[in-house]
Each structure stands twice: as C-alpha cells, then as structure tokens.
Amino acid sequence: MLKRNEIKILIVEDDKFLRGLLVEKIKHEGFSVIETTNADELFSAVSKERPHIILLDLILPGKGGFEILSELKANHEYASIPVIIISNLGSRDDVDQAMKLGAVEFMIKAHHTPLEIVEAVKKVLGTHYVGK
C-alpha cells in the first residue's frame, strides 16, 4: 500500500488558474502533483514520473484530450493508468467517447469544484493509498 505522498497525480490542464487550484487542493490532501499543459509534456511526464492517475482536460493546445487518451490506452505501458476527464465539454457524445476510449470518470469543470475533483481522485484510487 502506498502512502498519499507517494501517489503521483498528473494534471494536464492549460488553464493556469484552474490548474493552480487543483494543484493546491491535491497537495493539501498530501498527494504528489505533476503539472503539464499539453500532450508533449504529458507523455514526457508519464514516461519519467509514472503517475498513478491522470486528470486530463480535453481542450488543449496542439493535440486534444481524446487523441491523448486514445494514445495512452493504446500503449501497454500506460494503459492501466486511470484517467479522469476534466472538461468544459459535456455533451452525451463527448462523455460516451471519453468512456469508450478508457476514461474512468468524466467531470464537467463548471459543475464540479476542485474539492469534488479531489474526492473523485480519491475514489478512483480506492485502496491504493494509506492515510497521510
């Protein structure tokens, strides 16, 4: 069992304000945080850091979140990393596509606080961590 400070959460979000809020809340919970803003940074971080979970925005500069998710899940080294989508997109088609590609959760930014996103992270991590 891992301790919270051993669990690495990768946040892929190009909005500096929201990314800052998420980083603050996740660090406050005792988790380790890796921040990226685009696909190139994400794949570099995934190969170097081996995060335990990824929070992925869909609208990013360059390669979009659907394409990133598809590539992550197609790579046998990264396919088991749970991915929570955090996006302002939220149509039924967007949610269905993300889930079909392998996301474990889809959260619409406007409908969830950073604290609710952190709670979803803890739920997905389940029994993979021990208290602080």
Check pLDDT > 60 for residue 14: yes
What integer pLDDT is reported at residue 128 of this predicted model?
Answer: 55
Question: pLDDT tens digit string along 50-87?
Answer: 999 999 999 999 999 999 999 999 999 999 999 999 99
Residue 121's pLDDT is what? 95
**Band of residue 131 on the pLDDT scale cut at 50, 70, 90:** low
Mean pLDDT score, 103-124 = 94
Q: What is the mean pLDDT of the chain?
A: 93
Tell whether pTM > 0.85. Answer: yes
Q: For residues 37 and 119, what is the distance between their CA atoms, to the nearest angstrom?
A: 22
- Does the pLDDT of residue 126 top 90, yes or no? no
Structural domains in the chain, sorted by start: 2-127 (3.40.50.2300)
State residue 127's pLDDT score.
Answer: 52
